[in-house]
């Protein structure tokens, strides 16, 4: 098999064996399929680096085992939990007061911003312009647009969070 290393030939020759090995490691059909496919993906991108073509079988099995170990490490570092299982561990967060503000209040606060911050914030959030478009419109460097947006948003946030919403009038 070493002399014919075409991809289809390798898949035909080794898929079954690799799948059985993967299944013995994972005890899960879907995960075994994924590992086997990942092994062939790695072969497709790195297989050309194999110098001794007689070791293709060893290379494939080693790659599958490394992929398995990598997936287990990732699973241990970032375990998958259903949301209802983790609900007790999540902090109770009430929506920020900014979410309860109406647009008129936001526009009023925007009008209180310094003029150099007002235009970039309005163009970005109200007119959906990109950073580059804002830089072109205002004839300022891209970095200036980004810093003005950051500072303008921080100031807008200060203005909005310091305002207490008025109760609705009867």
Q: What domains can you pick out in the chain, each with its CATH number?
A: 7-82 (1.10.1740), 97-162 (1.10.10.10)
Distance CA 160, CA 100 (A): 10
Mean pLDDT of 124-131: 82
User: Who's near 46: CB < 8 A, 6+ residues apart?
Assistant: none
Question: Phi and psi dihedrals of 67, rounded to 5?
Answer: -65, -40
pLDDT of 2 above 60: no
Q: Output the pLDDT for position 163.
A: 56
Distance CA 164, CA 82 (A): 37
**Contacts from 124-130 at CB under 8 Å and sequence distance 24+?**
124/149
CA–chain centroid gap for 165, Å, is 35
Q: Which two tokens stand for residue 101?
A: 């503000």
For 70-80, what is each residue's pLDDT tens digit?
A: 988 888 887 77
CA–chain centroid gap for 133, Å, is 26
- Residues counted in the chain: 170
For 17-27, what is each residue's pLDDT tens digit?
A: 999 999 999 99
**pTM for the model:** 0.48
Radius of gyration from C-alpha coordinates of the chain: 29
């Amino acid at each position: 098999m070493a002399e014919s290393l075409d991809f289809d030939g390798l898949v035909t020759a080794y898929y079954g064996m690799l799948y059985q090995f993967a299944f013995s490691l994972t005890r899960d059909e879907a995960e075994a399929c994924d590992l086997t496919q990942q092994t062939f993906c790695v072969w497709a991108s790195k297989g050309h680096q194999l110098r001794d073509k007689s070791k293709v079988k060893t290379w494939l099995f080693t790659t599958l085992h490394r992929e398995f170990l990598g997936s287990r490490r990732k699973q241990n570092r970032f375990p998958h939990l259903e949301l209802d299982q983790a609900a007790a561990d999540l902090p109770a967060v009430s929506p920020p007061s900014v979410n309860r503000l109406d647009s008129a209040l936001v526009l009023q606060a925007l009008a209180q911003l310094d003029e150099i911050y007002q235009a970039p914030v309005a163009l970005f959030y109200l007119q959906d312009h990109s950073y580059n478009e804002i830089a072109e419109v205002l004839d300022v460097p891209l970095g200036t647009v980004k810093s003005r947006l950051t500072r303008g948003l921080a100031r807008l946030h200060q203005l909005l969070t310091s305002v207490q919403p008025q109760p609705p009038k009867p």
